[in-house]
Structure 1
């Protein structure tokens, strides 16, 4: 498993959250929730799946929700373990 720095994870979260959603997350504050930047719960599920795939980190179902912030997601990924 490759190790990611916090900055790597920030960039990955911003890239994945912005991909195919039409939402500009580059300008979003790290403390903004997914809901505040215009993403609904279905989009968050898709983002979570893409983050797990991209990072190789296991993200338990329901842990990332529309009320979760971008910063919280980075912290979760940084503390996470590799997927089995």
Structure 2
């Protein structure tokens, strides 16, 4: 997927470091579908917090979230 949304780009870049194939990165794919368990999702959240230079709660992302919902969660202030 081609996007100019910086949060989506950061999420996709981080997910490829978790060995997720770019073709699997669809709006409807859940983090769990992409092979991430709850611990990996916390690690992903920590990675995104560093990459984005923001504090993110460990529960910002959840395994059942689609990529579209994950971007929305990253955009929402906490």
Q: TM-score range with shorter-chain normalisation?
A: 0.7 to 0.9
2:24 counterpart of 1:23: no
Q: How many residues align?
A: 74
Give the distance between the partners of 1:51 and 1:61, measured in 2 at CA: 11
Does the alignment pair 1:48 with 2:30? no
RMSD over aligned Cα, in angstroms? 1.8
| Higher helix residue share | 2
TM-score, with normalisation over the residues of structure 2? 0.79
Which structure: larger Rg? 1
Uncovered stretches (5+) of structure 1, i.e. residues with no partner: 1-5
Give 4+ residue runs of structure 1 displaced > 3 Å after superposition: none
Give the structure 1 partner of residue 62 of structure 2.
65
| Structure 2 segments unaligned to the other structure (5+ residues) | none
Aligned counterparts of 1:58 and 1:46: Cα–Cα separation in 2 = 13
